[in-house]
Structure formats: structure tokens, C-alpha cells
Amino acid sequence: MKQIMLATDFSERSDRALRRAVILARGRGAGLNLVHVVDDDRPRRIVDHDAHDARQMLADLARTLKEMDGVTCSTQVLLDDPFAGIVKAAANASPDLLVIGPHRRQILLDAFVGTTAERTIRSVSCPVLMVNGPPVGPWRHMLLTTDLSENAGNALRRFKGLGLGAEARSSALSVFDAPLLRLAMSYTMGKEEKEGYLKDLGTDASKHLSAFMTQISMGQAEKIVRHEETTVANEILKSAEELKADLIVVSTQGKGAVARLVMGSVAQQVLKEATIDVLAIPPTASLS
């Protein structure tokens, strides 16, 4: 990984993302590109004033990071819609990773759908890291999620290529469906019959997950399978909590028997509700 881009709005949320970006840049010897987008849909004098201040703040920040952290930074201020500006910056620079802060959480309003963060993750071609947790050091436990599809495999290969968290423990999670338990007549199944049914499904799911991870050369990760008792996203979040993971890796697309690791469903819900870092990876066409 050679280039990390950080999109900042100078908020406390962005400061958290900055510290994680610095940790990654130092660990990988990567350059850091600091980007701020000034909303240009306002009176010109206000836009010009904000742009001037932003350039000065970024220059000061880059100088501090060079002196204190030894990280080389480039900076750019764009005049645009915040979402469009970030997407254009990522398209022009082609960073290996885009780092953003968490979305604003509101109790009475779902503030995620349609926000800059969600739209950016949908639109850029590079992996996007949403920093939710406190960036106190390298990640300790990474939870890799997969639906065993080709797209998910490509995304995990792409994740491996980033070289992130080499010193961290990693677990691979696959959530399996139990279709008979969703049928109207499932109440006729006794407890032991249900337990046996789930055990058999779990055994098959474990075999498939192990073969899948070996095929993509990530067989060293701990294999975990869970029954989709609630939703796939909820099972991912519960697993992360039980494992005390500090990073969840999700693919933004998915195809296959359980084709729900797609932006707009599983990945979106995980990004919206996770309190730890989430790395959203769009798969390339082929990485085999």
C-alpha cells in the first residue's frame, strides 16, 4: 500500500479518522493525501474565505504530521459538493485506501441513507475505511465476513493485498441460512430435530468456509459459522462483539446462495450500526 487518502471536514469525527490513517501510513510506509471539500453552493465570498482557511489548516496539519509522526502528506482543497468532491479526488488520485470518519448518528432519524459517507462508499472504486473506534494502536482482531461468492473472494483477496493488520488475529465468518425453520410448519419439528438440523447445516457451512478460505489463500484465519437467527448484519455485529474484534471487513457486493452482502443491505446496516472500524471493499472484476 503506497497511498492513503483521508477525507476530512476538520470535525472531531475526522480527527479520529486522521489518527487511524496516520497509524496505517506509518505502519505501511505510505504517503497520506489530506483532502477537504468546501461546499461551493454558497455565496462566493464565503466559499473563498473557507477555502483559504482550509488550505492553511491542511498545510499546518501536514507540517505537524511530518515533524511529529514522520508521515509525508500532500494536501488539496476542492470546491464542490462534499460527496462529489471526495469521489472526484479518489478517482483522480486512485488511492489504495480512502479513510473517512463515522456518519453522524441521530436517535430519531436514520441519518445514514443518502449521506456523504454512504454515497461515497457506493461510488468509489477503492476500499473505504470508516473509522468508528478509538485509534489507540494497530488492530488486534479482524473479522472477515464472506457469503462464499466469487465477489466476496475477490474482495478478500484485495484486502489481503493491502497488507493491513498483519500482526492482528483474524477470523472468517460465514452466516448460513436454515430454510426449514422459516417454513410455516417448522413448529412441528421437535427440539432435538431442530438442533440436529442446525448441526448438520453448520457442519456443511464449516466445510464450505474452510474450502473457500483455502482457495483464496487465507486458510490461516479462524473459521466461524453462525445460523442466520436474526439478520446477516446482526449476526456479523454479534460475532464482532463476542470476539472483541476491532475491525470488520465487508464486501460491498455479493452474489450467490446468500446474495445479501450488497451495499444497501448487509454492508449498509453494518456500516450504520457498528461501533468499531469497518472496511468496505468493492471487489474487482477478477483477482485470480
Average pLDDT (81-95) is 94
Domain segments of the chain as ranges: 1-135, 138-281+284-288
- What is the pLDDT, as a whole number, of residue 167? 86
C-alpha distance from residue 219 to each of 85, 155, 156, 216 (Å): 39, 15, 12, 8
- What is the pLDDT, as a whole number, of residue 216? 95
Find residue 223's DSSP bridge partners.
172
Identical fold for domains 1-135 and 138-281+284-288, yes or no, is yes
Q: In the CATH hierarchy, which fold is given to the domain comprising 138-281+284-288?
A: Rossmann fold (3.40.50)
Average pLDDT (236-246) is 97
Average pLDDT (171-176) is 96
Average pLDDT (130-137) is 93
Does 17 have pLDDT greater than 90? yes
CA separation for the pair 251, 60 (Å, rounded) = 36
Question: What pTM was estimated for this model as a whole?
Answer: 0.89
Which of 265, 243, 238 shows the shortest CA–CA distance to 254?
265
- What is the pLDDT, as a whole number, of residue 258? 40
Q: Sort 283 into a burial class: Cβ within 10 Å, 0-12 / 13-18 / 19+.
A: buried
The three-state (H, E, C) secondary structure of the chain, written as one string: CCEEEEECCCCHHHHHHHHHHHHHHHHHCCEEEEEEEEECCCCHHHHHHHHHHHHHHHHHHHHHHHHHHCCCEEEEEEEECHHHHHHHHHHHHCCCEEEECCCCCCCCCCCCCCCHHHHHHHHCCCCEEECCCCCCCCCCEEEEECCCCHHHHHHHHHHHHHCCCCCCEEEEEEEECCHHHHCHHHHHCCHHHHHHHHHHHHHHHHHHHHHHHHHCCCCCCEEEEEECCCCHHHHHHHHHHHHCCCEEEEECCCCCCCCCCCCCCHHHHHHHHCCCEEEEECCCCCCC
Percent of the chain whose predicted confidence (pLDDT) is above 90:
70
Q: In the CATH hierarchy, which fold is given to the domain comprising 1-135?
A: Rossmann fold (3.40.50)
Does 108 have pLDDT greater than 80? no
Residue 129 CA, chain-centre distance (Å), reads 5
Residue 175 CA, chain-centre distance (Å), reads 18
- What is the pLDDT, as a whole number, of residue 260? 39
